[in-house]
């Protein structure tokens, strides 16, 4: 497949991603369905953070075969189009679902500093959630600034700026079917133009 010019190195292929999502879904079903059968409404509430989690959420839920699931979304801003988080994340679009007494599974693209998910976890418990678990497809553990860990993660990734499979640069490149380290030298003078 032709690589996007901003790709320095593909680190995880589409095939590897798909395989991992199947494994994650299996282990999450085992946890909720086989081991914790006291789910409120027998349903897990999958909460995706827009927009990065969309490709992961889409593939993840189709792998759930035993578990009833509901999908909801919220929007949190932290990067604002840059390649580094600007600091304090904030909720830019809330969900109007009633989280009280619900079993929430946060479905996320990547954990870096951990600030976004720490905020969302506290927010959900504040709304009365019965349980809050985290599943992220990518985990940038070296970037961690706060005490926050995923209950399930797909891949450990390097502490570099990544693009693809939901991860964006200036709201583009979320559509790449693989995950790549971005070419930071090219990014410095990058102009969006017609791809050759």
Number of chain positions touching Mg ion (CB under 5 A) = 3
CA geometry: angle at 98 spanning 95 and 104, to 5°? 80
State residue 180 phi and psi, 5-degree precision.
Answer: -135, 155
166 exposed, middle or buried (CB, 10 Å; 0-12, 13-18, 19+)? buried
Contacts with Mg ion, 69-108, as mask; x by CB under 5 A: ----------------------------------------
- CB neighbour list of residue 62: distance below 8 Å, 6 or more residues apart: none
Q: Which of 38, 101, 103, 112 is catalytic?
A: 112
Nearer Cβ to ligand IMP (67/117): 117
From the list ligand IMP, Mg ion, none, pick the one residue 129 interacts with, judged by a Cβ distance below 5 to 8 Å according to partner type. none
Nearer Cβ to ligand IMP (39/148): 148
108 exposed, middle or buried (CB, 10 Å; 0-12, 13-18, 19+)? buried
Give the largest CA-CA distance in the chain.
Answer: 54
User: Would you tell me which residues interact with ligand IMP (CB under 6 A)?
Assistant: 49, 52, 78-79, 85, 89, 108-116, 140, 161-162, 167-168
Nearer Cβ to ligand IMP (67/74): 74
Contacts with Mg ion, 109-138, as mask; x by CB under 5 A: x-----------------------------
Nearer Cβ to ligand IMP (66/149): 149
Q: How far apart (Å, rounded) are the C-alpha atoms in residues 171 and 145?
A: 24
Catalytic residue list contains 112: yes
Q: How far apart (Å, rounded) are the C-alpha atoms in residues 173 and 141?
A: 23
Residues designated as active site: 112
């Amino acid at each position: 497949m032709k690589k996007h010019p901003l790709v320095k190195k593909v680190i995880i292929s589409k095939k590897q991603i798909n395989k991992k999502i199947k494994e994650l879904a299996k282990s999450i079903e085992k946890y909720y369905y086989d081991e914790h059968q006291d789910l409120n409404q027998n349903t897990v509430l999958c909460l995706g953070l827009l927009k990065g989690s969309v490709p992961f959420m889409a593939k993840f839920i189709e792998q759930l075969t035993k578990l009833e699931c509901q999908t909801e979304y919220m929007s949190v801003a932290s990067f604002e189009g840059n390649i580094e988080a600007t600091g304090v994340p904030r909720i830019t679009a809330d969900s109007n679902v009633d989280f009280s007494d619900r079993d929430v599974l946060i479905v996320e693209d990547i954990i870096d500093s951990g600030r976004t998910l720490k905020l969302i976890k506290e927010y959900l418990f504040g709304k009365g959630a019965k349980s809050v678990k985290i599943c992220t497809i990518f985990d940038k553990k070296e970037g961690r600034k706060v005490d926050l860990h995923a209950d399930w993660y797909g891949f450990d990734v390097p502490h570099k700026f990544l693009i693809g499979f939901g991860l964006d640069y200036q709201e583009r490149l979320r559509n790449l079917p693989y995950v790549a380290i971005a070419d930071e030298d090219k990014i410095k003078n990058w102009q969006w133009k017609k791809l050759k």
